[in-house]
Structure 1
Amino acid sequence: MAADRRVAEGLEHLKEAEKCMKTSFFKWKADYDGAASAYTKAGTCFKSAKSYDQARQAFLKAAECNVQNNVMFHAGKAYEQAGMMCKELNDLNRAAQLIEKAGHLYREHGVPDTAASTFDRVAKLLEPTNPQKAVDYYLIGSDITECEDRPRQAADFQKKAAKLLVRMGNYDRAVEVLKVEKKFQIEGENAPEVSRVTVELVLCHLARGDFVAADKAYKDAYGIPGFTESDHCRELAELLDAYDENDQDRLSSVAARPMFKFMDNDYAKLARGLQAPGGGEGGKKKKAALLDEGIEEGMEKGQLENQEVGGEDEDEFEGGLC
């Protein structure tokens, strides 16, 4: 079988690597370069044969040899490959540790682009099982790209982190992350994205029950080109007004509009779940007051009509029946 042939080929590469590592009276230092190459080839063969545990071990040995040889970029690549083999073995925590190690090696040895994309991958890997750790990795990626003066990329990492925090219900930290994203979006002169972040900030503040902060986030956006003429501005104004008036029915109605409905799913869900303070009784009281006012007006109108009718009757029979 093809898999068996690839395993056998991998075992031959392991033997070659072991020879490179041996020392003798005439060979005082191990051939780390040759060993790293042979271990990498062995790992690739085992990976092809889907013998993931053997591949993991081979890639780890390749990484160690590259570290000894002070070839850190290739050491990072080998650690990353070992991490991916751990993923195939469903050992996600170990996979994350190894890929993180690769990311740090890339960053420390002058390849920040590769480092940032590595932290992005490991964050995505952990999103379903350890979202808090994934947030940390996204923020590391943001820090790397910020140092490289790429604000739009840095903002994208912050955006991913904030979305996860909202999913976890950690609105306080989400607000802080969104503020940093907004700063990067402004630096990147990305007005549409600044408007989007403003909506997300307002939603998070309202979810925290902080109307004052939500209103301030909304008004701070007035300086964004095109914001005051946008749907974002109009819909947020109505949302804040409904919240301020404690009108749950109106709040839910505004939150169900297309602008909120077609946001990223985590924020759309957040908008749908907003609760007006005071149990949303403000709208009901207002309606009741209007109803009472209408009844009172009706009663007053009826009384006036009765008086007019009574006056006409009195005039008709004022001179008696004769």
Structure 2
Amino acid sequence: MEDSKIQEALRYLEQGDKATEKNWFKKPEWDVAGQNYEKAASCFKAARSHEQAIQAYQKASDALFKSDSLFMAAKTMESAATIAALQLKQPERAVEMYKKASDLYLANMCPDRAGEMLEKGARALEPVNVDSAIETYIAACSLYESEDRGRFAIDTFRKAAAVMIKHKRYEAAIDILHRLNAIYQSIPNQQGLNKTCLSIIITLLAAEDEVEAKKQFQLFCSHAFVQSEESAIASALLDAFEQGDQDLLTQTVRKQTVIFLDNETAKLARGLQVPGAISQPPPAQSNTLNNENSYIIPYHVDEQKPLPPEPTEISTSTFAPNQTEIDERKPLPPEPTEASTSTFAPNQTEIEDEDDIC
């Protein structure tokens, strides 16, 4: 099937070349040539012969341009750029064709499609050349502004700012965000304006320009921004930096208002660090015995009780009675010392009693 498609494409190319011939009796038929070249490119694309498809699309674009069919010339050039970017993975080559397509769309009074081509080129360049991608994004934004189509370029401005923030091009990002602010003011769109103002404050703090962040905050507060939740968040961020309070900063960036910003801006906010931050020490762990909520391990019967310490030396003091114990005992009768006659002599009272009996 692929071979048959290639053969068909070659026949269309031959017909297109014949249509471009010029002689005494015939002028070049550029529109016919462009149509044949475009058919040939479609056949090459179906046969997965991508390089030949690109060449055929380029020839079709040139022929259609000469026939004053600017829109179709731009469209065929866009098709060639798409194949180069997606199939051949050649972003530098693709962006050149995207720029040509942009010029053709702009010449045909289609500024929105022209800006879209530049945005596609920037997206293709981002993985390989960030600086060129940013320049292309800026060119797309400028094109929308010059044609007074800013309200249709909001997504392009936001994507451009996201790429710049992602790759730490903070100065360029702040400029793009200010230009986006002007678009929101002209529409007007107060909610978008509030988010963009907060994004500018966060980007300035990430760029370590706290002074400029305070100035911009004061300028923003002269409008309706001062009554918004984004204004309260921006004020808390500035207070955290002024007081050197990292805990306050961490609590602020976790709020829902910050989470609802663009992804790259929200990530940037979560990564902010206060210079010379002072954070509260973590609370000390209380003793588990004094904690009423602590879990007490129950005693098991099979657990062995600790053994008493083994005696080291045997001394007589171990068996000697304590003085207190001696005091508590009853006193013993005194032992007899000598046998005397007084022990066996009768008492005078006893003798008198015996006389009475007699």
TM-score (normalizing by structure 2): 0.72
Match of 1:247 among 231, 239, 245: 245
Residues 37, 57 of structure 2: 8 Å contact kept: yes
- 1:84 CA displacement: 1.4
Q: Provide the C-alpha distance between the structure 1 equivalents of 2:149 and 2:60, rounded to a whole number of angstroms.
A: 33
Report the structure, 1 or 2, having the larger helix content. 1
Q: What does residue 100 of structure 1 align with?
A: 99
3-state secondary structure, aligned to 1:228: helix
Q: Which amino acid aligns with 1:103?
A: S
Residues 171, 208 of structure 1: 8 Å contact kept: yes
- 1:26 CA displacement: 3.9
Q: What does residue 56 of structure 2 align with?
A: 58
The reply on whether 1:179 has 2:178 as its aligned counterpart is yes
- 1:134 CA displacement: 2.6
**1:120-170 superposed Cα distances (whole Å, 9 cap, x missing partner):** 222222233333323223323322322333332244322221111111101
Bigger shift: residues 18-27 or 195-204: 18-27
Residues 142, 155 of structure 1: 8 Å contact kept: no
Q: How does 1:147-186 map to 2 (within 5 A)?
A: 147-186=146-185
Residues 151, 187 of structure 1: 8 Å contact kept: no
3-state secondary structure, aligned to 2:226: coil
Q: What does residue 201 of structure 2 align with?
A: 202
Gaps of at least 5 residues in structure 1 are: 288-322
RMSD: 2.1
Q: Provide the C-alpha distance between the structure 1 equivalents of 2:145 and 2:153, rounded to a whole number of angstroms.
A: 6
Residues 143, 154 of structure 1: 8 Å contact kept: no
Q: Which amino acid aligns with 2:263?
A: N
Q: What does residue 312 of structure 1 align with?
A: none
Q: What does residue 343 of structure 2 align with?
A: none
Q: What does residue 113 of structure 1 align with?
A: 112
Residues 205, 211 of structure 1: 8 Å contact kept: yes
Q: Which amino acid aligns with 1:178?
A: L
Q: How does 1:219-234 map to 2 (within 5 A)?
A: 219-225=218-224, 227-234=225-232
Gaps of at least 5 residues in structure 2 are: 282-358
The reply on whether 1:91 has 2:71 as its aligned counterpart is no
Match of 1:276 among 274, 277, 290: 274
Q: Which amino acid aligns with 2:172?
A: R
Q: What does residue 188 of structure 1 align with?
A: 187
Bigger shift: residues 156-165 or 88-97: 156-165
- 1:204 CA displacement: 0.9
Q: Which amino acid aligns with 2:17?
A: E
The reply on whether 1:141 has 2:140 as its aligned counterpart is yes
Q: What does residue 40 of structure 2 align with?
A: 42
- 1:213 CA displacement: 1.5
3-state secondary structure, aligned to 2:89: coil
3-state secondary structure, aligned to 1:14: helix
Residues 135, 164 of structure 1: 8 Å contact kept: yes
- 1:25 CA displacement: 5.1
- 1:15 CA displacement: 1.6
Q: What does residue 67 of structure 1 align with?
A: 65
Q: Which amino acid aligns with 1:280?
A: A
Residues 30, 67 of structure 2: 8 Å contact kept: yes
Residues 46, 54 of structure 1: 8 Å contact kept: yes
Q: What does residue 293 of structure 1 align with?
A: none
Residues 62, 75 of structure 1: 8 Å contact kept: yes
3-state secondary structure, aligned to 1:280: coil
Q: Which amino acid aligns with 2:277?
A: G
Residues 194, 224 of structure 1: 8 Å contact kept: no
- 1:252 CA displacement: 2.3
Q: Provide the C-alpha distance between the structure 2 equivalents of 1:36 and 1:63, rounded to a whole number of angstroms.
A: 7
Q: Which amino acid aligns with 2:114?
A: A
Distance 1:67 1:151, change over 3 A: closer
Q: Provide the C-alpha distance between the structure 2 equivalents of 1:48 and 1:224, rounded to a whole number of angstroms.
A: 57
Which protein is bigger by CA-based radius of gyration?
2
Residues 154, 184 of structure 1: 8 Å contact kept: no
Percent of aligned positions that are identical = 32
Bigger shift: residues 74-83 or 154-163: 154-163
Q: What does residue 351 of structure 2 align with?
A: none
**1:84-126 superposed Cα distances (whole Å, 9 cap, x missing partner):** 1212111111011101111012213322222122222222222
**1:44-71 superposed Cα distances (whole Å, 9 cap, x missing partner):** 1211222211111111111222233343
TM-score (normalizing by structure 1): 0.79
Q: Which amino acid aligns with 1:127?
A: E
- 1:223 CA displacement: 4.0
3-state secondary structure, aligned to 2:48: coil
Distance 1:114 1:262, change over 3 A: closer
- 1:266 CA displacement: 1.1
Residues 151, 185 of structure 1: 8 Å contact kept: no
Residues 191, 224 of structure 1: 8 Å contact kept: no
